[in-house]
Structure 1
């Protein structure tokens, strides 16, 4: 049996070695993971293989004149500077050229990679892209397309603008990442380039230094479902979002909002189901009606906002001005973790029992009667949704309640006290009250002693203050000492 096992291992190693020897990129130059019954490989190259990559025999077997079976290739730290060679025909579906100091891409570099679905050019020095950088082979049904390309990552480069024809060969693109490029303004050429992608589903514009979106930019991409505007100095929700057709997920993390109100909040976008408002360093308040345009909202993430102290109970519902009625979106997931919220109104969402995920941890909740519902009504629901998180929600005030968990209070059926009419908190006045009492107790004997000493004339200072006739006589006629009679 041992012999059989050794034979099996030797055979496996032989097959691995044989296939590895058949793929020029595998071996000492790059690491390879073989898939599809070891007929193709996922290759990762971190050493400098520029000479090897530009050699046609790396891609095509000279003996059979067929392409080597590379499924995915990742090449980093190559210091290409300029991609000035054309990749030979190959069936690879994934090409990652991130972090290679690429400054320029020659026309038609990728034209022979007709099965490539994903192209990653992140973290390079690209500043300008030729309109034919992504040019493909001529096909009767399309204008020299890269017909399989669906995902293009251009993030972390130095792009300020895009040629309006840059995507004319990649019209079936579904995911476009332009994050971390210093656009500052999306000029008409860039807008036209994005509008030329009718099948676009995900657009990433985070940390591009833009303050808003141009009008009508979302008109053409009728299938756009995800838009990421995080990390930009945006303090007003772009009104052009109403022109979107199928937008379901919005990211506004780390933007410049201070207060989200009806005026700078969300217009009517009934298709949006997921909203992220996280890590907004200056956000303090979310006011009434500011989220009312999102009538189809199902997931709301408002977390890690270190200054957020107020959520209006009517921030979400859409109010009918004629009837006075209101309609809330039916939330399924709510995350309010790590803010500065002390109070939460039970009317903030319509059906707490419809939630499948909930997180209200790391807020300084005030355990007083205004939050009694959090203990009585929400805690039992929270325990069903997520027992672990529910067990760690704690009181942040008043001082005598700090550290108590909501679960403890629920188990004890604890009734939290209410503030008085003026919001006084007597527990904070304890030191002052003790000081006043001590002062009174010390002052009473001192005063009594002073009165007694005055009556007994123990201290001359009292006589100096006495202006009565008797006191005057005593001061004028001093008592004769016994020696004077001798």
Structure 2
């Protein structure tokens, strides 16, 4: 071999080492390792580092699958593989990750998992499979994840669920299913999730949900915004412990007290709907814990006196862009003298009051169209 060939080979070796070292970083304590833009077999770590590593993050890895044995770190607790191109995970790919607590597979091209692919991850607490191509979840998708507490499936193409898909993850406390294509929720979908506290179903195509949340006893946060929900079923949340409920940006027209869990609710978001009646009067309690109510951009003309009297803890009330009857509005303010404008309107907007023809704020449903017509004329005049 002549001197030119030797120099060429040495140059390639130096370029390769520079390439790898430039795209991979290890912290001084050998606990964290991050790579970007290289193949799995180009990740070079010393034996001591492999034995001490706790967190591995791999981005843009130019791989299409995760094979068995390709990565092996006995103490690893946090693994991120976010490459955009991975569409297949072998059955025993995670066999050597017995201590893994967080697995992030977001931003890939995954659409399905082989049965029991997570079978060796008995200690896993967080699984993130957002930004993939999942359209359905089969019964055994999450088998083996008995200690899972957080599941993120946001930004996929989900439309179908097996009714028992979540039965294997009974300890889950937070679940994100937002930004999918869900239009139907099986009645028993969350039945086994007695520890579920946080559920995000926003930005889907859900029209109704029936008794889906009846057994969600510990549910405290529920986001159903940006769907196409037309009504709230009676006693839909009666057994929950809801503190925050977001139903904004839907197609709701009437709110009944039997449709809400007002005994625990602290924040209620109803803005940008078509609500014309807010019938939650006649409550059998001295006061409700509600602190924030947003009903902006609806079709409300009045609120019942009983609600105003019992919402003693209300601190933030956002109500602009409704065709309020002026007499009703001023009466409501009189009942609740602490409803100062500095509390009611944080953006200095005033309610657009429609001058009514009915005194004492006793408005029947047939009278609503009168207000809508005037409100429409006023809006058109402003434009």
TM-score normalised to structure 2 length: 0.75
Q: Counterpart in 1 of 2:313?
A: 354
Aligned pairs for 1:143-154 within 5 A: 146-154=121-129
Q: Counterpart in 1 of 2:22?
A: 28
Deviation at 1:117, TM superposition (A): 1.6
Q: Counterpart in 2 of 1:159?
A: 134
Distance 2:255 2:214 in 1: 21
Deviation at 1:336, TM superposition (A): 1.0
Note the residue ranges of structure 2 that are not aligned, 5 or more in a row: 1-17, 360-366, 378-383
Deviation at 1:81, TM superposition (A): 1.0
Contact 1:333 1:355 in 2 (8 A): yes
Aligned match for 2:288, one of 330, 334, 349: 330
Contact 1:296 1:329 in 2 (8 A): no
Aligned match for 1:217, one of 184, 189, 194: 189
Distance 2:333 2:20 in 1: 61
More helix per residue: 1
Larger radius of gyration: 1
Q: Counterpart in 1 of 2:29?
A: 39
Aligned pairs for 1:374-389 within 5 A: 375-376=333-334, 378=336, 380-382=338-340, 389=345
Q: Counterpart in 2 of 1:392?
A: 348
Q: Counterpart in 1 of 2:157?
A: 182
Deviation at 1:173, TM superposition (A): 0.8
Distance 1:203 1:350 in 2: 36
Note the residue ranges of structure 1 that are not aligned, 5 or more in a row: 1-23, 137-145, 320-324, 399-416, 430-486
**What is the SS of the residue equivalent to 2:117?**
coil
Aligned match for 2:248, one of 278, 286, 290: 278
Q: Counterpart in 1 of 2:222?
A: 250
Distance 1:350 1:112 in 2: 61
Distance 1:295 1:235, change over 3 A: farther
Q: Counterpart in 2 of 1:241?
A: 213
Contact 2:242 2:261 in 1 (8 A): no
Q: Counterpart in 1 of 2:329?
A: 371
Distance 1:30 1:362 in 2: 53
Q: Counterpart in 2 of 1:84?
A: 67
Q: Counterpart in 2 of 1:298?
A: 266
Q: Counterpart in 2 of 1:101?
A: 85
TM-score normalised to structure 1 length: 0.61
Deviation at 1:66, TM superposition (A): 5.4
Contact 1:212 1:238 in 2 (8 A): no
Deviation at 1:364, TM superposition (A): 4.2
Distance 2:275 2:128 in 1: 37
Q: Which has the higher contact order (CA 8 A, sep 6+)?
A: 2
Contact 1:253 1:277 in 2 (8 A): yes
Contact 2:87 2:108 in 1 (8 A): yes
RMSD: 3.7
Q: Counterpart in 2 of 1:339?
A: 297
May I ask how many residue pairs the two structures share in their alignment?
347
